[in-house]
Structure 1
Amino acid sequence: MKVEQLFTCHHVSEEKKVPLATLSFEGNVMYWWTGLERDRRLHRDPPIEYWNDLRGALRRRHIPSYYNRELMDKLQRLQQKNMSLEDYRQKMELYMMRASIKEEETTIIARFLSGLNLEIRDKVELLPYRDLNDLIQLCIKVEQQNLRKGSSRKESSYSNSYPKKEYRREREDSIKKDKHKETPKSVGKDVSTSQSRSRDIQCFKCHGRGHIASQCPNRRTMILRERGEYSSQDD
C-alpha cells in the first residue's frame, strides 16, 4: 500500500514500477527475486514487467494458501469483549481488507452488530441511524455512558462503605472509653474490700480493731528504777 501511494504521488509509469520496487529488495528477498528471474528465463516464461504480476508473485511467496480461510474464520468469530469500540471497528475493517471482502453496507452493519457487547447492542438497536458511520458514533456514545455509570457506581459504593467504617471506629473508641471508665470503679471496690477486711482484724494487746499487735499504737515502755520500782509511759 505504501509503494502504491509512492507510485501515485510521483506519477510512475507501469514500465518503471517493477524496477523501482525491486531496488528496495535486500537479503533473502533479493535472492528470491534473482532466482525467480533465472527460473523464468530457463523455462522461457515472459519476465515480470507489471506491478500487479510482481505483487501476485510476492503474495504466493510469503502468504500461505490458507491465509484467506483463516481471515474469514477470524472475521466470523470476531467479538468485542474487552476491546474498546474503536479497536473492535479497526480489527473488523483490517480483516475485511486483507481478505479482500466487499460486502453491502447492510451486511457490514449486521456483522458489526453481531459482535458488539450486549449492553451496547441492546441500546443501539432501539435508536435510529442512517449508515455504518452513524451507527458507530451512536455506539461510541453508549460506550462512554456505560463507562461513566461504572465509575459513578464505584464512587457510590465507596461512599456507602466509608460511613460503616467510621461507625465501627466510633463504636470501638466508645468501648475503649467505657473500659477506661470502669477501671477506677474496680479499683474503688478493691479498696473498700481491703478496708472492710482490715476492720475485722483485732489486736490481742489493746483489743482494738484494724491493726495487729506489732503495729499497735498503744504500746507502753517499762522503765526500771534503782529500788526495784518501775513506771510506764506511752511511746
Structure 2
Amino acid sequence: MVGRGRPPPPPQVARDEGIRPRRRNMEDEENMYGKLKFNMPKFKGEDDAEAYLSWALKVDKIFRIHNYSGAKKVAMASLEFEDYANTWWEQVVTLREEKGDPPIDTWEDMKEEMQARFVPTHYKTDLFNKLQKLKQGTKTVEEFFKEMELTMMRANIQESENQTIARFFNGLNYPIKKIVEFQQYSNMVELVHQASKAERQVNEDIKYSKSKQMIRGGLWTPPPQDRQALLVVQ
C-alpha cells in the first residue's frame, strides 16, 4: 500500500525492453534481404581477365548480403558456369576427387582457383605499367580519376592517400595542374573537386579567347571539323 502523500512508484521497465525493438529491426532487415531475388551473373570462361574480375565482383556483392555457407556459395556460383567455364570446373572437381584432395568449399578458395586460371600472371604487371604511365590527356578530370582508381583496384595496389594524391596530381594536364597547385585540399575527394573546378575554368578561358579572336577580325582559325561545318553552312 502506498503511503499517504507519496507519489506512486514508476512502472517497472524490463531491462531488455529497449533492446527488443532494435533486435526486431535487425531481424526484419535480415528477412527482407533473404526474400530479395537476385539474378546470379553467368560466366562463360572467356580468355579475358576483365570479364572474370567483373563477374567475381558482382557475385561478391550478392554474397555480402546473404548469410550462405561457403559450400552453398560455391554451388550457387558454379551453377552459373557456361561453355568452357562449366567444363573446366567439372574437371577441377574430378581431379581433386581422384587425388583425394578435399573439395573446394569456400567462396574465397573458389575465387583463388579461378583467378589462377582466368587471370594471367602478367596481368598485374601490365596494370602496374599502365598506372605508371597514366596521364589525363584528352580525358576529363572525372574520367581520368575513375580510370586511375579502377586500375589501382584491379592491380590491388595498396598505398597511402598521399601517394595516390601525388599520382593523380602529376597526371593532370599542365593548365589544370597549374591552377590546382595554389588551391587547398586535404584529401583525394577535395583534390578531384578542385581539379574539376580548374578544368571548368580552363575551358571557359579557352572559349573566351576564341570568341575574342573572332571578334577582332577572324584571326582564330577553327579546327578542321569546325571549318567543315562552316563550309556546309555557307
CA RMSD of aligned residues (A): 1.4
Corresponding position of 2:151: 95
Q: Distance in 1 between matches of 2:117 and 2:59?
A: 18
Matched, 1:82 2:162: no
Q: Where do 1:41-190 residues align within 5 Å?
A: 41-161=97-217
Q: Which runs of 4+ in 1 moved over 3 A?
A: none
Percentage identity across aligned positions?
35
Structure 1 residues without counterparts, runs of 5 or longer: 164-235
Return the alpha-carbon distance in structure 2 between the equivalents of residues 146 and 23 of structure 1. 52
CA distance in 2, matches of 1:84, 1:112: 13
**Deviation at 1:74?**
0.5
CA distance in 2 between partners of 1:46 and 1:13 (Å): 16
**1-structure distance, mates of 2:208, 2:179:** 20
Match of residue 204 from structure 1: none
The 1:162/1:110 distance shift into structure 2, 3 A limit, reads: closer
User: How far is 1:129 from its partner?
Assistant: 1.1
Give me the TM-score of the superposition, normalised by structure 2.
Answer: 0.67
- Larger relative contact order (CA 8 Å, sep ≥ 6): 2
| 1:162 CA drift (Å) | 5.4
- 2:153 maps to a residue whose letter is M
Q: Secondary structure at the match of 1:49?
A: coil
How many residues are paired up? 163
CA separation in 2, counterparts of 1:5 and 1:12? 13
